[in-house]
Homo-oligomer: A and B are copies of this chain.
């Protein structure tokens, strides 16, 4: 069986807390989005190879669901992965590809591109700041405990927040430069 990064992520999610495929998709949404058509086959393979167990759970007011939990073999596999070196990050960002070529258009196009990006990043910043605040209020002890998964979540939120704030700052710098240069040209 082939273990790619997404498969390890699924194991990691289920190790925190048993979940259904549908719930895994929701958990991934804000962090590393994946479609259900990718998750369900991964779960099926993990189960077929004994890395996760599955139990049917009846719900009232909702359809039944299949809740998966990690086996000891699954946990061992995840632990072994954490001792390896991660690949360098890959960023797919259309926005950057557009900035790369935006010099062929009027300056207004760059301005629009940056303003839209800033708006998007401000929304993301609010989203993650809120998430972190809720977690801090709900689990004040866990988030500073090395052996709690919420500690890891806190680290990831704080990184996201810092990165997003940094990008907003960059947008402001570009817009400032832009305004300055245009005033100079007009004068």
Number of interface residues of A (CB under 8 A): 64
Interface code A117-149, partner B: CB below 8 Å = 1, 0 otherwise? Answer: 100100000000000000000000000101111
Q: Interface 1/0s, chain A 147-187, versus B by CB < 8 A? A: 11101110110110011001101100110000001000000
Expressed in whole angstroms, the Cα–Cα distance for A104 and B149 within the complex equals: 8
Q: Does residue A12 face the partner (Cβ distance < 8 Å to B)?
A: yes
Chain B residue nearest to A89 (CB atoms) is: B93
Task: Establish whether residues A86 and B98, one from each chain, have CB atoms under 8 Å apart when the complex forms.
Answer: yes
Instruction: Please give the distance in Å from A154's CB to the nearest CB on chain B.
Output: 10
Q: In the complex, what residues of B have CB within 8 A of residue A8's CB?
A: 97, 101
A sample of 15 inter-chain contacts (CB < 8 A) reads: A9-B97, A12-B100, A12-B101, A33-B90, A82-B104, A82-B113, A86-B113, A89-B91, A89-B96, A90-B92, A99-B156, A100-B152, A103-B152, A159-B170, A162-B169
